[in-house]
Structure 1
Amino acid sequence: MADFEVSLAQEPDAASLIAAHPNLRMDPVDGLCLEGVPLAVIAKDLGTPCWVYGAGTIRTRLAALRDAFDQAGLGATHIHYAVKANDHLAVLTVMAEAGVGADVVSAGELQRALKAGIPPSAIVFSGVGKSAADLRLAVAEGIAQINVESVEELAMLSAISATAGRTIDVTLRVNPDVDAATHAKITTGKADNKFGIAWTEAAAAYGFAGSLPGLHPVGLATHIGSQILSAAPFRAAYARIAELVRDLRAAGHTVTRVDCGGGIGIPYEGEQPAPLAEIAQALAETLGGLDLDLMVEPGRWLVGPAGVLLSAVVLVKQTAERRFVVLDAAMNDLVRPAMYDAWHGILPVAADRMAAPATPADIVGPVCESGDTFAKDRVIAALEADAVVAILDAGAYGAVMSSTYNARPLATVALVDGSQWDVIRPRQEMSDLWSREIVPARFGTR
């Protein structure tokens, strides 16, 4: 398939970053504010590193997404939040209260969604490697559907469902062999990716599913990757799915549902935002006229811009070649730059830093890895020890991917909602790092 190009703008400066984030404001006295709450206050009270999410931002973006589908005549489209982007119970509760379902990829995510109040009837289970235990839980809970990714999984699920005396709705995840032209590690819709059933084999697999006890094949699913900023890859994938729907129906199969996946990207480095209206229109023009129940699974788009990672400067190290701004946040907190070479905007929290001279610096963390680098040659205002910065667009694939590497406790998390904010996860205690570890008693006798 053809590549789909997305043009990059020039690396944005501080003013441009703030202008591109409606939930951020630089107050001349209070400094950088998220939804009106001064981030300096949160950093002072909770210390750093610290994650901060904005509930209002999530609700605003959800409303914009729903409006785009409404304008395209797809108001009945079901939204299932991709839990893997940010699985905190408070975030999931915001989704549940807004009437959003969940797309889960593990038994743990399924149980988190249930705990947050998302009903089983609004949960879909995706993923290429569901275990027998995963499938038994999904069948027992009576979730909306399972997106099956192979004929081997169909056979395993049939045995589990039939043994339980249940019949569960299944869709076949189809790999449409569409290159979304995104990062190689987050593309999922090409023929050489591990995900889904090849679109050329999907018809046979659908017939096989219909022959198995305990399974009720209801439709198709697809997901071609993450961080997609163009409508063209979606249109190409959905056109191929629409063709398959027609072929299945012509062969006498019932197809009532298509899960269109997620993947809508956000602008990290000054790119143009994903064209929601064009994406919704592409869905309407390819699948909208086929009398289908349609579903989408946004994750990053809903929560990415809703979160920041606050970090304080430990010291500024000047060498003959480079200036290093060393933060107290590290790759164990936010791994995206190390894993994907991802770009994140970084802003000083104090208002007076906005007018300070800006010069290039490497923004790095304290972990003993050269990859523990948030930015290279980033033009940023002069910063001194203890100055606080906000790493932007950290609400997706941030805290959820963090670890305790280098024996660093997990950072605290706060949620802003209106003028109020609350701690939704306290900082991990140092002793928690080894509280569940066991040293065999015989070692103490040596």
Structure 2
Amino acid sequence: MAPSTIDLFAFGEDRLLELTAQHPTPFFAYDLPAARERFRRLRAVLPARVRLAYAVKSNPGLPLLETFAAEGAWFDCASAGEVSAVLAAGGTGSGMVFAGPAKSERDLQAALFAGARVQVDGIEDVQRLHTLHAGPEPLRVSVRVNPASGVSEAAAIIGGGGPSAFGVDEEVVDEFLAQAAAYDRVRVSGLQVFAASNELDAGRLLDNHRTALRIGRRLHETHGIELDLVDVGGGLGVRYAAAQPSLDVRALGAGLGRVLEENEWFTGELLLEPGRWLSAPTGVYCARVVRTKVSRGERFVMLEGGINHLLRPLLTGQSFPTLAVRPGVGVIGGRSASGVGGDLVPTTLAGPLCTSLDRVGTGDLPADLRPGDVVVLGQAGAYASTQAMTHFLSHQPPEQVWVDGAGAATGRAVQLSGSPA
């Protein structure tokens, strides 16, 4: 296994062999020290005025939230359940933003209970917050703006600058602000612009961030809004193939410093919301091979878990990196540290569900793959376990294994406690 390929997995060959020997498959395993190191690495290259908020939706596992809370992270939440999970992990509302295009009253109550900064997506959010907020001072909120131009993303997942269910279109933001001014218990003092997903080009991200500050300048100069927070969203990408480049976070941090220097009018804080960049490389998904077949020229490997465990490849068409482990031997196929060679052949990974939709991606896997071998999918610490169709066909959910600094593993499952009363 070439080093550039094994680098796409949270654990090295020896640790993967150990994990697959110790834990019944299927399971997800996460490296908490790696999560801590990634947070510190990103924090170290960012300007002091840039706050770092972990996007909980990427992976809401309680041990992971506890790890980031201990590092002083802010949190980006999008449901009452996520708010509750962050509070249980030691996070605080003063370091929390709350987003979502269709917030329920329960969601808004949870955000207010925690003291989170709510990002409003329309006048309806303002109206309901005006009714719910009982504090002596106006409630400070941020408005999410959908830019008319000047934003782009490599893969159209968030939506770039086109039609969007999120936020207020830039063309009607003046009208929105005029309407919002009628609700005196709510004050717009922040801005959010989120325009990309899994972007590997720091320059493209910085161009989008400049667009956010351009919109902020307009709100400041035209409407006199003293912005205390500009949230430029997330979108920091990770590579899913060895040939892809890694995001240059040093260039991103230096560029954000220049963006702030270019906008002397803005004296508040900038917020960055990485989720996948922090959590994806910390996790793997491991499932045993049940059977293999060739159907009309296409090779299939059937795993004991499918879209009930890992749905994202079906949704986005983007496969997670794959390798295979043979119990008692090591990584097999290609060139590996164990010296086990063998040809790699294109393979479609299918699961146990009674639907032709049950496809968990493709990859080059050993030609001699056999039942009992374990297929490992990398970059599975984000948008994996909790995004899946867990209850479909009533299979058992996979175990969640959290590996600590001492190398021990615990079977603590992802926990999402109930929302605050």
Question: CA offset at residue 100 of structure 1?
Answer: 0.7
1:238 touches 1:287 (CA, 8 Å); kept in 2?
no
Is 2:374 the counterpart of 1:398?
no
Cα displacement string for residues 277-323 of structure 1 (whole angstroms, at most 9, x for unaligned residues): 23233333333443221111110000001000011111222456233
1:306 touches 1:393 (CA, 8 Å); kept in 2?
yes
Q: Secondary structure at the match of 1:349?
A: strand
1:279 matched residue in structure 2? 252
Note closer, same or farther for the CA distance 1:379–1:348 as it changes in structure 2 (3 Å cut): closer
2:417 matched residue in structure 1? none
2:198 matched residue in structure 1? 227
1:442 matched residue in structure 2? none
In 1, Cα distance between equivalents of 2:33 and 2:180 = 42
Q: Which segment drifts farther, 400-409 or 101-110? A: 400-409
1:45 matched residue in structure 2? 22
1:169 touches 1:217 (CA, 8 Å); kept in 2?
yes
Q: Which segment drifts farther, 282-291 or 87-96? A: 282-291
State the aligned residue count.
396
Is 2:103 the counterpart of 1:130?
yes
| TM-score where L is the length of structure 2 | 0.87
Quick one: which of 298, 301, 320 aligns to 1:325?
Answer: 301
In 2, Cα distance between equivalents of 1:14 and 1:325 = 23
In 2, Cα distance between equivalents of 1:113 and 1:66 = 20
In 2, Cα distance between equivalents of 1:279 and 1:204 = 34
Quick one: which of 136, 141, 154 aligns to 2:126?
Answer: 154
1:180 touches 1:228 (CA, 8 Å); kept in 2?
no
In 1, Cα distance between equivalents of 2:67 and 2:158 = 28
Q: Secondary structure at the match of 2:412?
A: strand
Question: CA offset at residue 81 of structure 1?
Answer: 0.6
Gaps of 5+ in 2: 415-421
Note closer, same or farther for the CA distance 1:238–1:179 as it changes in structure 2 (3 Å cut): closer
1:375 matched residue in structure 2? 361
Question: CA offset at residue 153 of structure 1?
Answer: 1.7
Q: Relative CO higher for 1 or 2, CA cutoff 8 Å, sep ≥ 6?
A: 2
Question: CA offset at residue 211 of structure 1?
Answer: 4.2
Cα displacement string for residues 209-249 of structure 1 (whole angstroms, at most 9, x for unaligned residues): 34422213222111113111123432333222222332333
Note closer, same or farther for the CA distance 1:318–1:254 as it changes in structure 2 (3 Å cut): closer
Note closer, same or farther for the CA distance 1:84–1:391 as it changes in structure 2 (3 Å cut): same
In 1, Cα distance between equivalents of 2:221 and 2:155 = 37
Matching residue's letter, 1:384: R
Matching residue's letter, 1:42: L
Matching residue's letter, 1:151: I
Question: CA offset at residue 49 of structure 1?
Answer: 0.8
Question: CA offset at residue 112 of structure 1?
Answer: 0.9
Q: Secondary structure at the match of 1:173?
A: strand
Question: CA offset at residue 191 of structure 1?
Answer: 3.1
Q: Secondary structure at the match of 1:236?
A: helix
Is 2:207 the counterpart of 1:236?
yes
| TM-score where L is the length of structure 1 | 0.83
In 2, Cα distance between equivalents of 1:272 and 1:217 = 39
User: For the aligned residues, what is the CA RMSD?
Assistant: 2.2
In 1, Cα distance between equivalents of 2:124 and 2:361 = 43
In 2, Cα distance between equivalents of 1:20 and 1:345 = 7
In 2, Cα distance between equivalents of 1:137 and 1:65 = 29
